[in-house]
Structure 1
Amino acid sequence: MGLGWAVGISRDRALRCVNILYRGVIPFFLVFATVSLFSAGLAAAQSYTFNSIQVEGNKRIQTSTIAAYTGINPGKAVSAGELNAAYQRIVDSGVFESVDLEPRGSTLRIIVKERPTINRISIEGNRRLKDEDLEEFIDSKSRQVFNPTIAEADAAIIAEAYSQQGRIAATVTPRIIRRSENRVDLIFEIAEGETIEVERVSFVGNRVFSDRRLRRILETKQAGILRAFIRSDTLIEERIEFDKQVLRDFYLSRGYVDFRVLGSNVELTQERDGFYLVMNVQEGQQFKFGQISTVSEITGVNAAEFQNALKLRPGVVYSPSLVENSIARMERLGIKEGIDFLRVEPRITRNDRDLTLDVEFALVKGPRIFVERIDVEGNTTTLDRVVRQQFRIVEGDPFNPREIRESAERIRALGFFGTADVETREGSTPAQVIVDVDVEEQPTGSLNLGGSYSVVDGFGIAIGLTENNFLGRGQRLSFSISTAQESDAYVLGFTEPYLLGRDLQFNIDLGVASSSSSFASYDIDRAFFAPSLTFPISENGRIQMRYSFSDSEMEARGTPAEDFSGAVILREIEQGRRSSSAFGLSYIYDSRLTGLNPSAGVLFQIGADFAGLGGDDKYVKTSAKVIAQKMILNEEVVLRASFEAGALSWRSETPSRSIDRYILTPTILRGFEPAGIGPRDQSNGFDDAIGGNYYAVARFEAEFPLGLPEELGLRGGVFYDIGNLWGTQNVDTAGAMCGGVAGVCGADGSWRSAIGVSLLWTTGFGPLRFNFSKALQKEIFDKEQSFDLTIQARF
């Protein structure tokens, strides 16, 4: 009992001690916390008042300027936070390497170290890119403050410029050399490295089109034997992105609506001297147009009338461009019918079972929005009207987004601008829009130096000066000089694409030409003047109206002329100089670019020239040409057929001359020399081709891959040509001989044919075509030609 009581007394005493200690400690901590918070508040509220600002270390920058950076007013209280902000403003000025702020009573002491100024900028180690080209990329300038951050950015931009040239290993290091008076020389040291080319472009996932066919449409090319002249075989990221879009457009235009580019992988070769580019694609299935219908949601608008305007038919391979063309055609019809704000909405229904797409064109009423104005900016040389001519709408017309998009494409297609952005924004009211056109000019003049070779004229050179935007008016002015072993020509040309502000193209060519062909026994001297007007009458058709005046003469090559020509040619030479004044009209239909089938197209042309209103000659000269082309076997093989014919009806009392009649060359009928077939005069021991009044030629050919490495640029071909040249009406044939008998050889004509193979070589200088032919049908007096080479080169 006693022990238990003692323990209880001790526990109570301990509890009382703890309570006393607890009640004493708690107030102590509360007092301490209060004092601490109060002290912290005093520190936070600490302020400075400066009556003066003292600056040290500045040499170029005035003290008042640095004091202005701080934003501190003398005599006004400044908190510690505001003092820190003042420090940051001085640092952000970018003209000091270091900044220190020291408050000393009522004086603020600022110690600075100024950045040096750039004395000069030099670029070293560059051979592939010129100094003046690289200087356009950099922001650092002489006599400005040197900023290391800007210099590093400039180095990165220069390295990127080399990367665009395929030199991704190029390194650019900015260095400085200190000079007196706190100046530095900024030097960009360049190690260009080697060009890393694209060794192979391949595809994964393509089943319909081969790698070879897809590579032909890409901008990125594989390195070939002419890599020194072709720069599209270097790896450029922007070009790959462009190629992806080209692939999408290619497949979409052929009905593969589910096509996707899953990715593009770029790998270095094991030797690290080239790239492998692999594009992973998913083709999907090809779709065709199913049911084509039109519905009207506008009261009083007849859908059947718009349906009849469509050219789309079921079964045609689907293409977004065909849908877009149909919308444009229907909207133009709406404008013609006076239906404002007409919009055509294509509603597409997918039928996976039969792989068709039903298209319903809905005629709906668009919002009542007008074009307030069209603003053109950035054109320093090009006149505003040249840009405005690309718009089919003007201020006050109903706003049409599709028309604005098409106008933007036409502006870019001019070739006058490096960039052309067309955007719309709200005008002075919500019911009006302003169209902003922002362009950046680029050079539009060019100097062309070219070389050529043909069996007709031999080797030659050509020099051409062209300005495609003459005086900023969108006009084309050109002057060309071409001289070859057997011909010379000097031609001045002028083109106004929008005469009187309308879609009316005006052309005029004038010049002089001379020919001394080894395939003729006479020389030709000619001067000409030829203006023309061309305008569209349909989506693919256009009309050309033209006038031509020529003054020509056949000249003998020696004295006396009898030593060089036969009887017919001698009398034609004796006619001397003659003039011709002719009016002409042609119709041209070309669906090769805008037709329903992207792998096929047709060109049709027919025309006539009428001479007799002035001049010495009177005649009617008609001509016709048809060319059809189709690509088969997944567009690997090109089939082409063409037919052309001409007829001359001579009306003058004076006989016609050889240079007035038709003479066929290998570009028209292969397998024979220039003037190798047709009527001939063999009198006086000569063999002169005198031409004919009529001709007709048909050509059939196929082009195909040879299975050789694509980078060689070689393709093969076969051809079959058949043609005839005849007719000597209104020709003075007195004294003409044929094989010792009086008369002209081949006056009545006969069909000739030739078969052959071709080797087509696409080079950096232009396309080369080697034709090896064998005549199947010919006359004994014809001149056969088994080989023909044509080169047209431009540097």
Structure 2
Amino acid sequence: MAKVISARKAQGRATGYHVTNAGRAVALSLAVAMGAGVATIPEIAYAQSYVFNAVSIEGNRRVEPGTILSYAGIARGDRVSAAQLNDAYQRILGSGLFETVEIIPQGSRLVIRVVEYPTINRIAFEGNKRIKDEDLAQIVQSQSRRVFSPRVAEADAQAVSKAYEVQGRLAARVSPKVIRRSDNRVDLVFEVFEGGVAEVERIGFVGNGQYSDRRLRRVLDTKQAGLLRAVIRKDTFIEDRVEFDKQLLRDFYSSRGYVDFRITGINAELSQERDGYFVTFNVEEGQQFKVGEVSVTSDLSEVDADLFASKIRLKRGKVYSPALVENEIARLEKLAVNEGLNFVRVEPRVSRNDRDLTLDIEFQLVRGERIFIERIDIEGNTTTLDRVIRRQFEVVEGDPFNPRAIRESAERIRALGFFNKADVDAREGSSPQQVVIDVDVEEKPTGSISLGGSYSTANGIGITFGFSEKNFLGRGQAFSFKISNAAESQQYGLRFAEPGLFGRDLALGFQLGYSETDNLNADYDTVTGIFQPFLEFPVAEQARLQLRYSLDYGHIRNATDVGGIVIAEAAEGERYDSSVGYTYIFDSLARGLDPNTRYRFEFGQDFAGLGGDTTFIRTNAKAIAQTRIMNEEVTLRATLEGGALSYTQGDSRVTDRFLVGPDIMRGFTYGGIGPREVGGGVDDALGGNLYAVARFEAEFPLGLPEEYGISGGLFYDVGSVWGLSDSTKNKATESVVSTGFDARHVIGFSIFWDSAFGPLRLNFSEPLVKRKYDEVQNFNLTISSQF
């Protein structure tokens, strides 16, 4: 009697596949005809042996007999034992090609009977809403028109579950099901139960003494679940994000001199409902160190160490930060290149002084390896042109290789905002003295379209359409236009800028603007237009200069109907102003030296008289300083702003003068302070040729849970708008008021809300000093901006 050689599962003969998903057995619901492999315990002694002169393969339709024989490993005429037959069975079954396998010795003939796994007719996903079908299809390995494998289906279910875990949906379940079709085909369906997200209910810290939990939570990318948890997804618990948070904490403390800072552990406890995490960071802050002695040394004969030492900006007593050291190294290495000293590298040596908590820093100039850049390879940019990425490098093929310069180039590429990912690596080239720079990017959308509506009592119902593109045609150019059409106001704007003219940090662009107002609530209507080409470039490490030409068109209409004498006299005829100008901008943030202090200065002038109808000089200046105190819980900010307008030919009109609004001085409406023409039913804001405003404010927490994103502030503004030319005042001497400098004072309270619609600011103000005809505004809502 023939003996069947096979292996038996502990559960005996089954009627369907079993696939494990996240530790659970999930039946695949196959028909009985697709049962598991035949399993019988051999009844013969393993000492028995066989010799086969023929091997017969039965049941195979797609798999070639030779393939099955290669898995079996049994040659004709060889003597094999029962154990070897069992091994052959395991190898054939382990190939993953067959649903069942039988090995039947029949005298000198061996019969191998198989039932092939079905082919997959199609793959479908059911129950998924958060992840699209096409995205899930890229995750699974099972594919249509390929052989179905329970092991692969099991791995696919786990991969889909992992994709939901990344989104914080730890309760997600994925069940693979098969539906029998004709011709030994099946449909593979993944039934998905997405579940809810596991939110971060609370983030706490243990061991922090210098900075409060509230301040440290602002450092992290992960946020606590708050009122807007349905919109803000940064409160979802994701392990990779927590790892990133650890690095953010290290950077935060190290940039503030805490060189011994350590994270000793992170506890993430899942609630019983599996829908919330309680995350606790255990930290050791250590002591804060400051910069001690700073020196430059060199053993190279051609290097003048004193020259390099004179360029050091890092001073003793400053709080130590690795960023400060990196900035000095970059500055010194650039100086070496400018001096013709290639392959000179700067190595910092830090000596610790525990007694006075200082770090002595010695910048040693050494000879680096003679390695050159062979080429720069760029991959992944399907839209962005290679030259847009290449111009972020200050080196080209054949230049000496400087790892620090390559890292800075990588940061500039990421700062473009064109890519989800930008990896820059160096590898050995055709020789040990050559390196190849590999740039691998992943592009992201850079354009936006906006469509909105508005209503105001001044302008009626309006529709606004806008388009902007930061990477126009993949050339790195900025292009935008905006159309706003209301019942009583129409505005059109177009702007274009090329930021890398001739492959350099040189921006060239222009802007066009046209607007008309036909406002029933004003005493006059206006038509204005502007054409302004500009050129912008760096003039220092932290400073830039913009040069521009402006052609302005202005026309005041219908002023004689209801307007005052001053505006009516100025409204006669159209006027063109032709001017050239510049703006100088200095920003300490350009090098990110101090995380707690920042200052910015702007100064610009426009000179009219190159053609046009007028000759004037317009001057604008602004200075801003900001610092954080009380362990960075409170932000102090001071702003000084002013402008002057001086005419030598022609006279200023209301559309030319400075009209201050709540964005410059809170507590008053637009044009609410300064010279006015009043009396006889007329109340016209004229604006002034001069203005000056000082703003002082403090921003601080209100004690509310920080997940609400709400903080408070106090402010104090003082300023004035004044000055009219003698010819303007003479037109209506008796009816023009507030022409001289007269400071107004305002105090107020602000509420800052980091909402899902953007950072909002609500200002509640009360003028302490005002004048009779000033127009007060006690509340306004604005988009909060950071300078």
Moved more, 438-447 or 319-328: 438-447
Please state if 1:574 is matched with 2:572: yes
Indicate which of 744, 749, 752 corresponds to 2:736.
744
Alignment of 1:439-450 (within 5 A): 439-448=441-450
**Rounded Cα–Cα distance in structure 2 between residues aligned with 1:216 and 1:377:** 36
* Cα deviation digits, residues 644-670 of structure 1 (max 9, x gap): 1111122333x3211111110111111
- The 8 Å contact of residues 292 and 360 in structure 2, kept in 1 or not, is answered as yes
Alignment of 1:412-431 (within 5 A): 412-431=414-433
Residues 534, 706 of structure 1: CA spacing in aligned structure 2 closer, same or farther, 3 A cutoff?
same
Tell me which amino acid in the other structure corresponds to 1:430: P
Query: Match of 2:325, SS?
Result: helix
Query: Match of 2:652, SS?
Result: coil
Equivalent residue, structure 2, for 1:13 = none
Displacement of 1:766:
1.4
* Cα deviation digits, residues 103-159 of structure 1 (max 9, x gap): 778876543322111112221122333323333322222222222222222222222
Residues 226, 69 of structure 1: CA spacing in aligned structure 2 closer, same or farther, 3 A cutoff?
same
Displacement of 1:60:
3.2
Equivalent residue, structure 1, for 2:552 = 550
Please state if 1:670 is matched with 2:670: no
Tell me which amino acid in the other structure corresponds to 1:375: D
* Cα deviation digits, residues 704-741 of structure 1 (max 9, x gap): 1111222222211111111111111175445425xxxx
Alignment of 1:576-725 (within 5 A): 576=574, 578-592=575-589, 594-653=591-650, 655-725=651-721
Tell me which amino acid in the other structure corresponds to 1:788: N
Residues 705, 569 of structure 1: CA spacing in aligned structure 2 closer, same or farther, 3 A cutoff?
same
- The 8 Å contact of residues 512 and 531 in structure 2, kept in 1 or not, is answered as yes
**Rounded Cα–Cα distance in structure 1 between residues aligned with 2:457 and 2:595:** 35
Please state if 1:782 is matched with 2:751: no
Indicate which of 278, 281, 284 corresponds to 1:279.
281
Query: Match of 1:651, SS?
Result: strand
Query: Match of 2:396, SS?
Result: coil
**Rounded Cα–Cα distance in structure 2 between residues aligned with 1:410 and 1:80:** 69
Moved more, 481-490 or 406-415: 481-490
Query: Match of 1:711, SS?
Result: helix
- The 8 Å contact of residues 678 and 735 in structure 2, kept in 1 or not, is answered as no
**Rounded Cα–Cα distance in structure 1 between residues aligned with 2:173 and 2:263:** 33
- The 8 Å contact of residues 49 and 76 in structure 1, kept in 2 or not, is answered as yes
Q: Aligned residue pairs: how many?
A: 741
* Unaligned 5+ runs, structure 1: 1-43
Alignment of 1:254-653 (within 5 A): 254-269=256-271, 272-448=274-450, 463-482=465-484, 488-515=490-517, 520-556=522-558, 561-576=559-574, 578-592=575-589, 594-653=591-650
Query: Match of 1:60, SS?
Result: coil
Residues 551, 95 of structure 1: CA spacing in aligned structure 2 closer, same or farther, 3 A cutoff?
farther
**Rounded Cα–Cα distance in structure 2 between residues aligned with 1:441 and 1:687:** 55
**Rounded Cα–Cα distance in structure 1 between residues aligned with 2:216 and 2:284:** 13
Tell me which amino acid in the other structure corresponds to 1:572: A
* Cα deviation digits, residues 454-486 of structure 1 (max 9, x gap): 999899775433332222222222233456787
Residues 776, 492 of structure 1: CA spacing in aligned structure 2 closer, same or farther, 3 A cutoff?
same
* Cα deviation digits, residues 730-768 of structure 1 (max 9, x gap): 75445425xxxx252122231111111112222111122
Displacement of 1:487:
5.0
- The 8 Å contact of residues 650 and 730 in structure 1, kept in 2 or not, is answered as no
- The 8 Å contact of residues 166 and 236 in structure 1, kept in 2 or not, is answered as yes
> Identity of counterpart residues, as a percentage?
57
Moved more, 756-765 or 460-469: 460-469
Equivalent residue, structure 2, for 1:193 = 195
Equivalent residue, structure 2, for 1:27 = none
Tell me which amino acid in the other structure corresponds to 1:755: I
**Rounded Cα–Cα distance in structure 2 between residues aligned with 1:474 and 1:93:** 52
- The 8 Å contact of residues 453 and 791 in structure 1, kept in 2 or not, is answered as no
- The 8 Å contact of residues 679 and 735 in structure 2, kept in 1 or not, is answered as no
**Rounded Cα–Cα distance in structure 2 between residues aligned with 1:565 and 1:133:** 64
- The 8 Å contact of residues 373 and 433 in structure 1, kept in 2 or not, is answered as yes
- The 8 Å contact of residues 206 and 283 in structure 2, kept in 1 or not, is answered as yes
**Rounded Cα–Cα distance in structure 2 between residues aligned with 1:62 and 1:270:** 54
**Rounded Cα–Cα distance in structure 1 between residues aligned with 2:487 and 2:757:** 20
Tell me which amino acid in the other structure corresponds to 1:568: V
Query: Match of 1:615, SS?
Result: coil
**Rounded Cα–Cα distance in structure 1 between residues aligned with 2:235 and 2:371:** 48
Query: Match of 1:668, SS?
Result: coil
Please report the TM-score for the alignment, with normalisation by the length of structure 1: 0.86
**Rounded Cα–Cα distance in structure 1 between residues aligned with 2:459 and 2:295:** 57
Residues 112, 488 of structure 1: CA spacing in aligned structure 2 closer, same or farther, 3 A cutoff?
farther
Equivalent residue, structure 2, for 1:223 = 225
- The 8 Å contact of residues 453 and 790 in structure 1, kept in 2 or not, is answered as no
- The 8 Å contact of residues 70 and 90 in structure 1, kept in 2 or not, is answered as yes
* Cα deviation digits, residues 653-696 of structure 1 (max 9, x gap): 3x321111111011111111110111111254211011111111
Please state if 1:118 is matched with 2:115: no
* Cα deviation digits, residues 398-448 of structure 1 (max 9, x gap): 111111222222222223233222222222221111112222333333334
Tell me which amino acid in the other structure corresponds to 2:652: S
Residues 405, 90 of structure 1: CA spacing in aligned structure 2 closer, same or farther, 3 A cutoff?
farther
- The 8 Å contact of residues 515 and 525 in structure 1, kept in 2 or not, is answered as yes
Moved more, 492-501 or 463-472: 463-472
Displacement of 1:75:
9.9
Alignment of 1:756-767 (within 5 A): 756-767=748-759
**Rounded Cα–Cα distance in structure 1 between residues aligned with 2:181 and 2:459:** 65
- The 8 Å contact of residues 117 and 148 in structure 2, kept in 1 or not, is answered as yes
Residues 455, 223 of structure 1: CA spacing in aligned structure 2 closer, same or farther, 3 A cutoff?
farther
Equivalent residue, structure 1, for 2:9 = none
Higher Rg: 1
Tell me which amino acid in the other structure corresponds to 1:786: N
Greater helix percent: which structure?
A: 1
- The 8 Å contact of residues 292 and 358 in structure 2, kept in 1 or not, is answered as yes
**Rounded Cα–Cα distance in structure 2 between residues aligned with 1:430 and 1:643:** 57
Please report the TM-score for the alignment, with normalisation by the length of structure 2: 0.87
Residues 78, 322 of structure 1: CA spacing in aligned structure 2 closer, same or farther, 3 A cutoff?
farther
* Cα deviation digits, residues 208-258 of structure 1 (max 9, x gap): 111111111211111111212111111111111111111111111111111
**Rounded Cα–Cα distance in structure 2 between residues aligned with 1:169 and 1:163:** 8
Query: Match of 1:129, SS?
Result: coil
Please state if 1:755 is matched with 2:755: no
